[in-house]
Structure 1
Amino acid sequence: MKKILPLLLIVLFSCSVHSQLNRTFMGKDIQYIEKNLKMKANKVQNLDNGLSRVIFIKEKDLGSSTIAKGEGTLDPMTTPPVSKKEYYTFILDNEGKVIRTDYQKEYEKK
């Protein structure tokens, strides 16, 4: 049971961002999304049947942090600095309303 609980928590938290996007933006237009995310769309792609894909990319540089190994160590261990990218993807119908959402994030070592 102790091994399953952390895995279950990870699955629940990863799905929570996606479900929050669905609740917040389903049926809304692009202006509403830009206002709430406080950024402009990075990519707009036209798909078949009048649908379009709008992607918002949020980048953040995460510096290195010290890993605590206890007191009295000679050389501290640090994590490498990384760049975090979050992709918010929205599929819009021919009226410009959101019909599907997606969320992905990736980390890139500097």
Structure 2
Amino acid sequence: MNTMNRILVLLVILLFAAGCSMQAKLNRDFKGEHLEEATKAFSDIPAAKIPMNNGHTKHIYTKEERLTGTTINQGTKTLDPIHSPSVTKVEQFIFIVDENGLIISTQYESSYKRL
């Protein structure tokens, strides 16, 4: 079980590193642009539109991808192979849009659900 904890810690670190780079990309590519630019870029991903109290609108694009389990190679001298579990990766691209249709804020969230 100790090895499984190490694998989970490694996945969390990789997730955090990937999340930071994706957030920077979203800010660079979409902040200050019209919502149509994000709609074009995420046209194949389902979207939700949530009105906010301050008149802005939150647009959330959610992408799900199933990642199958795999055997982790530890070399030829190990006794038991380690198998990573199958998971579903959920990515959310969140845009806060003002009344004029300009993106004023971006956010990226990623999580994994065990199957």
The number of residue pairs the alignment matches comes to 102
Q: Does the 8 Å CA contact 1:41/1:54 hold for their aligned counterparts? A: no
Q: Please give the secondary structure, in 1, of the residue aligned with 2:54.
A: helix
Partner Cα separation in structure 2 for residue 21 and residue 47 of structure 1: 21
Q: 1:50 matched to which residue of 2?
A: 55
Q: 1:66 matched to which residue of 2?
A: 71
Across the aligned residues of Structure 1 and Structure 2, the Cα RMSD in angstroms comes to: 2.2
Aligned-pair CA distance for 1:32: 1.1
Q: 2:101 matched to which residue of 1?
A: 96
Aligned-pair CA distance for 1:65: 1.1
Uncovered stretches (5+) of structure 1, i.e. residues with no partner: 1-8
CA deviation profile, 1:44-88 (whole Å, cap 9, x unmatched): 000123200000001100001111122265753211100000010
Q: TM-score, normalised by structure 2?
A: 0.77
Q: Does the 8 Å CA contact 2:71/2:83 hold for their aligned counterparts? A: yes
Amino acid across the alignment from 2:109:
Q
